[in-house]
Amino acid sequence: MRIVVSTVMAPFVRGGAEVLAESLVERLVAAGHQAVIVSIPFKWYPACNIPRHILACRLFKYRPQPVDPDLVIALKFPAYCMPFENKKVWLLHQFRQAYELWGTEFDELSDSPEGRQIRSMIMAADNVYLREARAIYTNSKIVAQRLKTWNRIETTKVLYPPLHHPEDFSGGPSGDYFFYPSRLVESKRQALAIEAMRHVRSPFRLVVAGSPDNDRYERYLESLIEKYDLQNKVTMLGWISERQKADLMSNCLAVLYLPFDEDSYGYVTLEAYQSRKPVLTLKDSGGTEELVEDGVNGRVVGPSPEELAWAMEEMWAKQEAVTTMGQAGFETIGKKGITWDHIIDELTSN
């Protein structure tokens, strides 16, 4: 089959969605298909750009040869607005500020009449164009629930994304630090992790790695470290290579992943489990609770610096239990059937 994987991109922004698109194409090709990524430029700020991007996707027609592709797999808003007859959607998330982030501190639409009008346009486009798809898969139960709640659209099936190269991650000894790798962005709440270190008395450290979406948030995190004199407790590495990330994951005590109302469990969670490390997450982190079971393969605590610090102190004091939870995390991957063979079979079936 000739397959187009359709997604959106912003220059110099790279996260889990970009990795997933590349992984999907690689696995489709390995399965004997012709596959390419079509990445559509998408700038969501200022908000007045969004309706133009919806229209651009609606007018888009991809013809690499005299015939259309056999299948288009769309991943994100507004890529799934493109008018292909044989279109499936593997929905990573909708435009979050119009839905679950509406009215929260991470929302930039609701404070103006224009923003409210744009929200209505986004929801109307989703209601119409998502229903054109032959099948709609989601990457988590929580995304499926949102789709049903907001748009009254049923999901065909939940397909949990596997790691791109799970063999790159392996278990190692428990070190003296908690590791938090992720893009530096407000909704990932690295600031909360840094605040937690103010309440820590044991000699473990916090290591934060990732590129910033904007310099302002990175400067804010650095200012917190300086403000609370945490230079000996918190290390910010910035961008690191995949090899460095795997090494740091392998040798940490446990992994932090603290997003707000996340769409899925996130690659960080899978990378931690592949490395036989437990994941410490929060009760309002959303999709992480589809994999992380409190006290079994990680910890799930309240979203406050004090509760997070308490959980970190407890894990430091009970390292044998932490090792057991890490092994349980590794076993979780197999129990959930998170494999590329399953994904490819489902997406390419008639």
Contact criterion met (CB below 8 Å) for 213 and 283: no
C-alpha 303: how far from chain center: 18
pLDDT given at position 226: 96
Whether the predicted model's global pTM rises above the 0.85 cut:
no
- 219-245 confidence digits (pLDDT tens): 999 999 999 999 999 999 999 999 999
pLDDT tens for 272-283 read 999 999 999 999
* 2-159 is classed CATH 3.40.50.2000: yes
The DSSP line for 214-242 is: SHHHHHHHHHHHHHTT-TTTEEEEES--H
Whole-number percent of the chain with pLDDT over 90: 71
CA–CA gap between residue 100 and residue 325 (Å, rounded) = 31
Q: Where are the domains of the chain?
A: 2-159, 166-335
Q: Give tens-digit pLDDT for 67-120.
A: 678 999 999 999 999 988 889 999 988 998 899 888 888 887 877 888 899 999
Neighbours of 308 (CB within 10 A): 27
Q: Which CATH architecture has domain 166-335?
A: 3-Layer(aba) Sandwich (3.40)
Predicted confidence (pLDDT) per residue in 19-35, tens digit: 899 999 999 999 999 99
State the pLDDT at residue 65: 58
Model pLDDT, residue 22: 93
Work out the pLDDT band at 18, boundaries 50, 70, 90. confident
Instruction: Decide: 75 and 20 in contact? Cβ < 8 Å.
Output: yes
Residue 52 tokens read as 């133009």
pLDDT tens-digit readout, 34-75: 999 998 888 877 788 899 999 999 988 765 556 678 999 999
Q: What is the pLDDT of residues 183-214, one digit of tens each?
A: 999 999 999 999 999 999 999 999 999 999 88
Tokens representing residue 90 in the block:
């593997």
- Tens-digit pLDDT profile for residues 117-146: 999 999 999 999 999 999 999 988 999 999
Rounded Cα gap, residues 311 and 123, in angstroms: 39
Comparing 2-159 with 166-335, is the CATH topology the same?
yes
